[in-house]
């Protein structure tokens, strides 16, 4: 109790130091029952004070979602994804323009139109290929924050620039205003009760769009609502091998999610396990049509990972990404897939370990900016192990 009599700054500093040092203990300490009952006891008060200090993030423990969510521009560096889809960040990101010949970015105020150059090039290519298949154009949903990392709201993944959401609503004939893009509500393709696709609004063009997205070797997974997966399982004729990449998952009833693999130049990018062999039109899909996956969350108040992640939760390199220099403007790191593009300046890598500027492109892409070119195809995936519960 002696310390409590010291001058305020000294006491505060000491308490902070003690709290930091013993934070681990306090986080895990189970207060014995007798102690819980004597809240007014001075010792209990000290315990509570220390525990409170420990719970309050210090500067170094600021939530990663706040730090990454505050960044409006990418870190200028060679493109590099660091960590895992749900725990990481990326440098050298580029933006997809708000408008393209065959796409429009939705909810632009979120500023989540950033990705690894390969991801952005792939979306632009998909927009062209899909148009050739009869899909008028893409409504592009969230990709990543400028430097990735956990988001203030929404997704658990989308952290390393290799995930993108595309709406299952075709681009309308008339250009959407910025206001419409912010507010236009999405069309749910799946009945919330039966978890089956609404046949009145499902069209073959939906299938062709998903098939086209799955056709690119860079794409490792496409997440859709289980109802959409079932519709594909029930109706796709001919080549069905691509169904393997299409994975059932909660949500994803108005958009689908494209996930590409780790790209060359990203030694610290953590690959996801390969999907199970086969089309996935089996028991693993049947599980989604039982009651189990839809049970109410037993622990709704449990904080989500993004709500507790600090910089210490992320790969150490993410600090350099956070501290990396801004480009002169968003425009100079906006990627136009028509050859006009300017990719991220790569003269000042922020990461000591950064390899020479990674070259990115999408296989089969036509005109690419001078700053990107072809790279080897995504490595062959290993023999996957069956998993008891379908993962995403
Ligand atoms: Zn997504």
**Does residue 248 fall inside a structural domain?**
yes
pLDDT at 43: 40
pLDDT at 246 over 60: yes
Distance 158 CA to ligand 1 centre (A): 7
pLDDT at 154: 86
Distance 233 CA to ligand 1 centre (A): 22
Residues 233 and 294 in one domain: yes
Residues 366-385: pLDDT tens digits?
Answer: 332 323 222 222 222 222 22
Classified as helix, coil or strand, 231 is helix
- What's the mean pLDDT in 64-86? 97
Residues 119 and 249 in one domain: yes
Residues 49 and 90 in one domain: no
pLDDT at 243: 98
Distance 255 CA to ligand 1 centre (A): 8
**Does residue 318 fall inside a structural domain?**
yes
Residue 226 sits in a domain whose CATH number is 3.30.1380.10
Distance 45 CA to ligand 1 centre (A): 45
Distance 41 CA to ligand 1 centre (A): 50
Distance 252 CA to ligand 1 centre (A): 8
Distance 320 CA to ligand 1 centre (A): 26
- What's the mean pLDDT in 219-227? 98
Distance 75 CA to ligand 1 centre (A): 22
Distance 196 CA to ligand 1 centre (A): 20
- DSSP single-letter state for residue 259: E
What total number of domains does the chain contain? 2
Compute how many other C-beta atoms are within 10 angstroms of the C-beta atom of residue 68: 26
List the alpha helices (DSSP H) in the chain: 8-21, 23-28, 33-37, 42-55, 64-69, 117-132, 178-183, 204-215, 226-235, 283-286, 317-323
pLDDT at 380: 28
Residues 190 and 99 in one domain: yes
- What's the mean pLDDT in 146-161? 94
Residues 20 and 100 in one domain: no
Give the domain extent around 327.
65-333
- What's the mean pLDDT in 357-362? 42
Residues 255-308: pLDDT tens digits?
Answer: 999 999 999 999 999 999 999 899 999 999 999 999 999 998 888 888 888 889
The domain boundary, picked from 333, 354, 376, lies at 333
Residues 187 and 327 in one domain: yes
Choose the weakest-confidence range: 73-87, 184-198, 240-254, 370-384: 370-384
Residues 8-46: pLDDT tens digits?
Answer: 334 444 334 433 333 333 333 333 333 333 333 444 443
Residue 68: pLDDT band by 50, 70, 90 thresholds? Answer: very high
Distance 151 CA to ligand 1 centre (A): 12
**Does residue 350 fall inside a structural domain?**
no
Distance 93 CA to ligand 1 centre (A): 18
The domain boundary, picked from 311, 333, 355, lies at 333
Distance 113 CA to ligand 1 centre (A): 12
**Does residue 176 fall inside a structural domain?**
yes
- What's the mean pLDDT in 128-146? 97
Distance 21 CA to ligand 1 centre (A): 38
1 Cα distance to chain centroid: 48
**Does residue 37 fall inside a structural domain?**
yes
Residues 43 and 72 in one domain: no
Q: How far is CA 368 from CA 253, 335, 340, 346, 391, in A?
A: 33, 10, 8, 17, 35
Q: How far is CA 230 from CA 187, 204, 211, 223, 379, in A?
A: 19, 14, 14, 13, 29
**Does residue 363 fall inside a structural domain?**
no
Distance 155 CA to ligand 1 centre (A): 6
Residues 52 and 71 in one domain: no
Distance 261 CA to ligand 1 centre (A): 15
Protein residues within 5 Å, CB atom, of ion ligand 1: 165, 257
**Does residue 354 fall inside a structural domain?**
no
Is 73 in contact with 39 (CB distance < 8 Å)?
no
Distance 165 CA to ligand 1 centre (A): 5
Residues 198 and 274 in one domain: yes
Q: What distance in Å separates the CA atoms of residue 328 and residue 111, rounded to the nearest whole number?
A: 17
pTM, to two decimals:
0.74
Choose the weakest-confidence range: 41-45, 190-194, 323-327, 353-357: 353-357
- What's the mean pLDDT in 147-154? 93
Distance 72 CA to ligand 1 centre (A): 20
Choose the weakest-confidence range: 42-46, 135-139, 177-181: 42-46
pLDDT at 313: 95
Compute how many other C-beta atoms are within 10 angstroms of the C-beta atom of residue 336: 15
More confident residue, 136 or 16: 136
Distance 163 CA to ligand 1 centre (A): 6
Distance 350 CA to ligand 1 centre (A): 28
Choose the weakest-confidence range: 29-33, 79-83, 172-176, 231-235: 29-33
pLDDT at 388 over 50: no
Residues 262 and 302 in one domain: yes
Distance 379 CA to ligand 1 centre (A): 23
Phi-psi region of 357 (alpha: psi -120 to 50; beta: other; left: phi over 0): beta
- What's the mean pLDDT in 225-234? 98
Residues 98 and 214 in one domain: yes
- What's the mean pLDDT in 72-92? 97
**Does residue 351 fall inside a structural domain?**
no
The domain boundary, picked from 285, 302, 333, lies at 333
Q: How far is CA 13 from CA 6, 47, 58, 161, in A?
A: 11, 16, 12, 40
Minimal CA–CA distance to 344: which of 333, 355, 354? 333
Residues 86 and 35 in one domain: no
């Amino acid at each position: 109790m002696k310390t409590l009599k010291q001058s305020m700054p000294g006491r505060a500093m000491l308490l902070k130091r003690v709290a930091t040092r013993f934070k681990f203990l306090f986080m895990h300490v189970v207060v014995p029952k007798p102690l819980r009952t004597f809240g007014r006891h001075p010792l209990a008060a000290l315990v509570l004070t220390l525990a409170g200090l420990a719970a309050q993030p210090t500067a170094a423990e600021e939530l990663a979602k706040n730090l990454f969510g505050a960044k409006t521009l990418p870190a200028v560096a060679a493109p590099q994804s660091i960590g895992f889809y749900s725990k990481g960040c990326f440098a050298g990101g580029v933006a997809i323009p708000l408008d393209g010949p065959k796409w429009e970015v939705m909810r632009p105020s979120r500023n989540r139109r950033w990705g690894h150059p390969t991801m952005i090039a792939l979306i632009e290519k998909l927009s062209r290929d899909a148009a050739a298949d009869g899909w008028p154009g893409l409504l592009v949903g969230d990709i990543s924050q400028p430097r990735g990392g956990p988001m203030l709201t929404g997704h658990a993944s989308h952290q390393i620039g290799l995930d993108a959401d595309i709406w299952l609503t075709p681009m309308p004939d008339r250009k959407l205003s910025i206001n419409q893009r912010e507010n236009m509500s999405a069309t749910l393709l799946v009945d919330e009760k039966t978890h089956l696709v609404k046949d009145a609004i499902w069209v073959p063009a939906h299938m062709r769009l998903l098939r086209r997205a799955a056709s690119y070797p860079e794409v490792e997974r496409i997440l859709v609502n289980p109802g959409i997966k079932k519709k594909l399982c029930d109706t796709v004729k001919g080549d069905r091998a691509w169904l393997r990449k299409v994975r059932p998952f909660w949500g994803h009833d108005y958009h689908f999610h494209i996930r590409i693999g780790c790209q060359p130049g990203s030694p610290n990018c953590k690959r996801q396990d390969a999907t199970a062999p086969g089309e996935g039109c089996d028991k693993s899909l049947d599980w989604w049509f039982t009651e189990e996956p839809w049970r109410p969350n037993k622990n709704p108040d449990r904080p989500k990972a993004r709500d507790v992640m600090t910089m210490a939760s992320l790969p150490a390199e993410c600090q350099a990404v956070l501290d990396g220099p801004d480009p002169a403007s968003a425009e100079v790191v906006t990627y136009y897939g028509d050859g006009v593009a300017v990719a991220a300046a790569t003269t000042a890598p922020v990461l000591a370990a950064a390899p020479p500027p990674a070259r990115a492109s999408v296989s089969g892409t036509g005109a690419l900016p001078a700053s990107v070119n072809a790279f080897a195809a995504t490595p062959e995936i290993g023999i996957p192990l069956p998993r008891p519960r379908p993962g995403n």
